[in-house]
Chain A
């Protein structure tokens, strides 16, 4: 009996193997070997020069070139570490597929890091161009979106300082935004998330090219405002930070104030915690912004001793004013463009959706009309490694 069962199992085992081999024999449909992939690290979106449709630019890394970075090999044989490819098509998806006419390898979009969007596309409505990147399973939602007044291709092709691939350089630029907090990096996911909200306007960082010593270099330059998916205006660095204060995304950076007796002082921001409250009272939208900020003295251009408590008070007041200035500037711009980049409407929706229901149709008007009250509590907490400039001081009596 036991023998029988074993025998049966051997028989079944062989049948099972046969079935399994049938299943496996057809396998490997989705396999794509690393060697056969063209890894795209950056893409640019523009309208096609002729006709209706998009022009998509790809930045593809040549991995072997990137690794054998031993200089000196020189000569003509050395290829550039990236390969730039452009293709056009009526939709972005088709343009991506059309690129296979030129590329011997399959374009692999999962590692795309940045999407550079030309101003023209931003003016004509961004979402139709981005749609593909959200729908397709390959591109990720954690790509950085940037706007450029130049040709996107040029950005992808530009020298990138210490890096060899400009897209990767841009990623690093984005990541260190908190050193200044004067740029607002935007993920594709962020963009979509803001877009789906009814009243909030989008922002995108701007990147452009400038030439120095005959070489093209990259430069981050302010922020673009997109209202209802279309480009309407720009913020400069100062206004951008004004926006970030309110959004609570200031994580560092420096702030410079003019001292009353001449000279300047620069503070390093440690952190800033905002508290925003939006209410609808007396027929007006009332916004209360409270910010608690902590900073340390980073540099001063006078000989005065700023380390006394009285001086600290003054410095804090100066800072308060500077911050309020920045916020007001951003606010003024936003109101001028009638674009709710701060998400006041969204706040109202989340905390008082009944009121919002009434206001949302004419939100633009209410936003421009909004009364904003700003309260800032700035603290100077640290001095750095010295107390006062190294000048001689009389002993106190």
Chain B
């Protein structure tokens, strides 16, 4: 306790000693002062380009263009800023320096977004964001010219969320492109973005997106206030924020959803959820999130409903298998042999005869080996990774069995589990943890242990909430109307209401059935459902 208090005090002290960078200092009318200040702020960075120019001729005003190389679009700067400034201004005379800035903005510069800025700090920030800054001597204001342009990744399909049918585009690292991708999906004035800068040092752009009219305003306010409370040094990925704003930071279950797909995001917004975009990452968080969402794939909505239902059930089964198969095998194999049918028992027994370790140890050991192989396969370059998997899976497994270290059934169970784990990628982490948890419990108490684990997880899940929505809904508490997208994937025309607990402010999506789709509501309903 005391140690904790002491640490807290020290942190507060440190905060006082290192105040944040000088904010809101005014710019000076003197060009050289400004330039020096900027140089001092950014250090002797070679990528800071200072291009001195002279504007006008009669009273020629000296000025300087500043930008950071690599963050700007060279073409824009040359064509739309430098050349009009240098060429178009030769004939101009008698322009007093007071009106010069205004004049330049209105008649000379042909870039889009231009902003006058009298303060120092925003100027530096703008420079770092890829804007070009124009200082004129004698002006205590700078012009911020939107010239952002840098090398960016093309829009391609996210690796983590592959689908067979449907749109193959994913978000990129650029927040502007991402918001644009979303706008392309939802052409509706109700789509609002709210931007803020988070990360004391990285000043990362974070945007909240929601559909006005469908979203519950309280939810937006809650998201806003939780984001405002985030006091963090750096934001590199959506998860940096997720861990701050999640309802249950200690739970292994994700209470903030994430996706890399614009179509999924659009569908979630249309159900009344809020999305959080973070600049610099293709991952978009959506809240509130439910457990069942992890089992839904965009493909479910791109395939016929009967097939989608069928596949979804396989996903449920796979997850249960991935979590429980080793535990059940351990429980049956070392506690409840009477529950195995006799012929199967004899087969398993003959395969495990002479193995030196208890089944739990075998299972945990082989599970660990598998995790190592998987991790190595992910980290290494792709061709090498594949080799690793083959060597790992085949050679190690085969050798372990022939050497009599582990029984062949163990390898089979681990292999099935391993594959089943990947069917529900959203719950990969929880799945692995739960598997270990259940395996150990089964090793100690057999089926009783598994039951204890299940009850514990059930209690935990029922007490979880994600932004006020019970995590297990619509299963617990049961809302039968919402099971249309949980137990089955109902035909799209039959999914006429949004999830009750999330989209209750505007429950109806579309009239039931194939009716004429002239109305606004009907068109909204066409976006496929992701949640």
Contact = CB atoms under 8 A, between A and B. Distances in A.
Decide if A and B touch, CB cutoff 8 A: yes
Interface of A: 3, 6-7, 9, 13, 24, 27-28, 30-35, 37, 39, 41, 61, 63-64, 66-68, 108, 110-111, 113, 138, 140, 168
Given A28-B444, A31-B358, A111-B345, A63 B338 contact: no
B350 A66 contact: yes
Interface stretch (B203-211, B329-337, B366-374, B513-521): B329-337
Nearest to B332: A34
Nearest to B349: A63
B342 interface: yes
A222 B354 CA distance: 43
Nearest to A41: B342
B338 A34 contact: no
A61 B334 contact: no
Given A13-B250, A34-B359, A113-B342, A64 B350 contact: yes
Contacts of A27: 443-445
A32 B342 contact: no
> Chain B: interface secondary structure?
helix
A34 B348 contact: yes
A13 to B, nearest CB: 7
A35 B250 contact: no
A67 B351 CA distance: 9
B282 interface: no
Interface string B350-365: 1111110011000000
B138 to A, nearest CB: 51
A108 B336 CA distance: 11
A302 B338 CA distance: 54
> Chain A: interface secondary structure?
mixed
Interface of B: 4, 8, 249-250, 333-335, 337-338, 342, 345-355, 358-359, 440, 443-446
B338 A111 contact: yes
**Closest CB pairs A-B (n = 6):** A110-B338, A27-B444, A67-B350, A63-B350, A63-B349, A64-B353
A64 B355 CA distance: 13
Contacts of A63: 346-347, 349-350, 353
Contacts of B352: 34-35
A31 B350 contact: no
Contacts of A6: 249-250
Contacts of B4: 7
A35 B444 contact: no
Given A35-B352, A61-B346, A9 B338 contact: no
Given A34-B345, A67-B346, 12 more contacts: A28-B444, A30-B335, A34-B348, A35-B354, A35-B355, A37-B337, A39-B345, A63-B349, A64-B350, A67-B347, A68-B350, A108-B337
A156 B400 CA distance: 37
Contact of B346 (A7, A13, A66, A140): A66
A9 B250 CA distance: 9
Contacts of A34: 333-334, 337, 345, 348-349, 352, 359
15 contacts: A7-B4, A13-B250, A28-B443, A31-B335, A31-B446, A33-B359, A34-B334, A34-B352, A37-B337, A39-B346, A39-B349, A63-B350, A64-B350, A111-B337, A113-B342
Contacts of A24: 440, 444
Contacts of A67: 346-347, 350-351
